[in-house]
Structure 1
Amino acid sequence: MIIVTTDFIPGKEIKELKGFVRGSTVQSKHIGKDIMAGFKTIVGGEIKEYTEMMDEARQKAIGRMVEDAKTKGANAIINLRLETSAVMQNASEIIAYGTAVTVD
């Protein structure tokens, strides 16, 4: 599956638009990660536990979007976008979305 953030794929011709595709996941914080993050906020710096958690969430959302595109018969996704939002205290949603297409 080709995935790009642009509305075209260099060197490829879009043959057919298959439509909107998306994938999402909701991740909650882990108490152990919260404790480690709390310590990190005192001394400053990157909170690697959350960075890893959000990277995993992005990969899950993108994977689900790819599955959605495959069910529509697409072999590429253009205009990939990622968004996040808080859905409740200590939980965030990551959504990946784009336009499924077929290219030659």
Structure 2
Amino acid sequence: MIIVTTDFVPGKEIKELKGFVRGSTVQSKHIGKDIMAGLKTIVGGELKEYTEMMEEARQKAIGRMVEDAKQKGANAIICIRLETSAVMQNASEIIAYGTAVVVE
């Protein structure tokens, strides 16, 4: 599956539009991660526990978007975007979306 943020795939011709595709996941914070992150905010530095959690969430959302595109018969996704939002105090949603296409 080709995935790009542009509205075309370099060197390929779009033969067919398959439509909007998306994938999402909601991740909650773990109490252990909260404690470690709280300590880090005192001294500063990267919150690696959250960085890892969000990377895993992005990969899940992209994987689900790819599955949606495959079910529609696409071999590429153009105009991909990633967004995040707070669902509740200790949970965030990551959504990946784009346009499924067939390229040659």
Pick the TM interval, shorter chain. over 0.9
Three-state SS of the structure 2 residue aligned to 1:73 is coil
Taking the aligned partners of 1:102 and 1:52, their CA distance within structure 2 comes to 33
Per-residue deviation at 1:47?
Answer: 0.2
Unpaired stretches in structure 1, ≥5 consecutive residues:
none
Runs of 4 or more, structure 1, over 6 Å off, are: none
Could you say what the CA RMSD is over the residues aligned between the two structures, in angstroms?
Answer: 0.3
Unpaired stretches in structure 2, ≥5 consecutive residues:
none
Taking the aligned partners of 1:39 and 1:88, their CA distance within structure 2 comes to 22
Per-residue deviation at 1:64?
Answer: 0.1
Taking the aligned partners of 1:75 and 1:63, their CA distance within structure 2 comes to 14
Per-residue deviation at 1:44?
Answer: 0.3
Partner of 1:14: 14
Three-state SS of the structure 2 residue aligned to 1:10 is coil
Between the two proteins, the alignment pairs up a number of residues equal to: 104
Per-residue deviation at 1:40?
Answer: 0.2
Partner of 1:46: 46
Three-state SS of the structure 1 residue aligned to 2:70 is helix
Per-residue deviation at 1:31?
Answer: 0.3
Per-residue deviation at 1:25?
Answer: 0.1
Question: Share of identical aligned residues, percent?
Answer: 91
Per-residue deviation at 1:83?
Answer: 0.2
